[in-house]
Amino acid sequence: MESATTTGERRDRDEVAEMFDGSSGMSDAFNDGQVHLGYWYDDEDQASLIEASQRLTRKVADSLRLRKGDRVLDVGCGLGAPAIQLAHEYGVQITGVNISTRQVAEARARAAGLADQVTFRVGDYSSLDFPDGSFDAVVAMESLVYVSDLGHTLGGLHRVMRPGGRLSLTEPTREGLSVVGAHQFAARFGAKWLLSVAEWLDPLREAGFEPVEYLQCGPRVFGMGPKYLQAVDARRDELAARFGETAVDELRQTLENFFTPGADQIGYAVITVRKPRN
């Protein structure tokens, strides 16, 4: 017989999968499969959403010191664009895991021709079945906030990494918001957590990781909300033709609500940790 906890966790996973199944079409059309945020140098930076998202992926890759042939795990791989970028630009062997069946199907289609380098699979990254030490590095871009048991999930990531391997996660972070305000903000967007950098480092240490570095780039990421609204406005006719005016209005309102707190209340961090060699 299943426990109430197990049933609750399954319900949480199903809700997350349904949320991403439902949003994948618009995400693909709006930002070419880049479902994480972007990095701009300042307000005058004219980089597109795709270019800005690719910059953030490179910052993650640089923090991991990726080398050709490295075995990389991408947890919550979205529509696959970051994994494919890492394979192209860094020559790594990358496996993406995603709970959304629809997103995995679209990621596989996007990766056609890269079967020897990129693999996508449907799975729950809070319960990985890979052998111990399977990966040299782990990427977790805006994905760990959707797990109910963060400590368990981090322990699983620690297990599948080789000694000396690195994990890099990117997430919005709690800055000016209170703990209660952060919880309310996260819940509005289907997430479980909105943590400060210190609040991330504690469970990472408890899982056995050693902090390496973190980059707080909130003004260049979360502070760039107007660029997303401008992109919706610029492409309104195109998106409305595919998804309808109501869907575009909902997208714009969701983005406006998400970025309303501003970079003084919510930051954005790239946090890199290492699995000790001993």
Question: What are the pLDDT digits (tens) for 203-229?
Answer: 999 999 999 999 999 999 999 999 999
Find the helix packing angle between 4-31 and 101-110, rounded to 10°. Answer: 40
Question: Rounded distance, CA 156 to CA 87, Å?
Answer: 24
For residue 211, the model assigns a pLDDT of 97
Residue 17 in this model has a pLDDT that exceeds 90? no
Question: What is the spatial distance between Cα 184 and Cα 120, in angstroms, rounded to a whole number?
Answer: 33
3-state secondary structure of 108: helix
Q: Count other C-beta atoms under 10 Å from residue 97's C-beta.
A: 21
CB 26, CB 241: distance < 8 Å? no
Q: What is the rounded CA–CA span in Å between residue 247 and residue 259? A: 18
Task: Name every residue whose Cβ is closer than 8 Å to that of residue 153 and which is 6 or more positions away in sequence.
Answer: 125, 126, 144, 147
pLDDT at 3 over 80: no
Burial bucket for residue 240 (CB in 10 Å: 0-12, 13-18, 19+)? middle
Distance of CA 223 to the CA centre of its chain: 18
Percent of the chain whose predicted confidence (pLDDT) is above 70: 89
What is the tally of helices (H) and strands (E) in the chain?
Answer: 10, 7
Once rounded to an integer, what is the mean pLDDT over residues 165-186?
Answer: 96
pLDDT at 243: 87
The continuous run of DSSP H or E covering 172 comes out as strand 161-174
User: Which amino acid would we find at residue 31?
Assistant: N
Predicted confidence at residue 98, as pLDDT, reads: 93
- Averaged pLDDT for residues 158-175: 97
State the Cα–Cα distance between residues 2 and 194, nearest whole angstrom. 29
Query: How many CA atoms, within 13 angstroms, populate the side-chain half-sphere of residue 36?
Result: 34
Q: What is the mean pLDDT of residues 23-49?
A: 82
Residue 4 has what pLDDT? 44
Return the pLDDT at 21: 52
pLDDT of amino acid 115: 84
Mean pLDDT, residues 85-97? 97
Burial track 255-272 (b if 16+ CB lie within 10 A, e otherwise): beebbebebebbbbbbbb
What 178-183 contacts at long range (C-beta under 8 Å, 24+ apart), as own/partner pairs, is: 181/265
pLDDT classification of 173: cutoffs 50, 70, 90: very high
Q: Does residue 15 carry a pLDDT above 90?
A: no
pLDDT for res 230: 94
Q: What is the pTM of this model?
A: 0.90
With bands split at pLDDT 50, 70 and 90, how would you rate the model's confidence at 198?
A: very high
Check pLDDT > 80 for residue 234.
Answer: yes
State the average pLDDT for the chain.
90
Q: Are 81 and 110 in contact (CB under 8 A)?
A: yes
Task: Look at 30 and 158; give whichever has higher pLDDT.
Answer: 158
The pLDDT of residue 58 is 96
Per-residue pLDDT, averaged over 60-64, amounts to 96
| 86 membership: H or E segment, kind and range | helix 81-90
Average pLDDT over residues 122-143: 95
> Does residue 73 or residue 239 have the better pLDDT?
73
Contact 80, 95 (CB under 8 A): no
* Model pLDDT, residue 13: 54
- Positive or negative: CA dihedral 140, 160, 93, 28: negative
pLDDT band at 1; cut points 50, 70, 90: very low
The model's confidence at residue 5, banded by pLDDT at 50, 70 and 90, is: very low
How confident is the model over 47-72, as a mean pLDDT?
A: 96
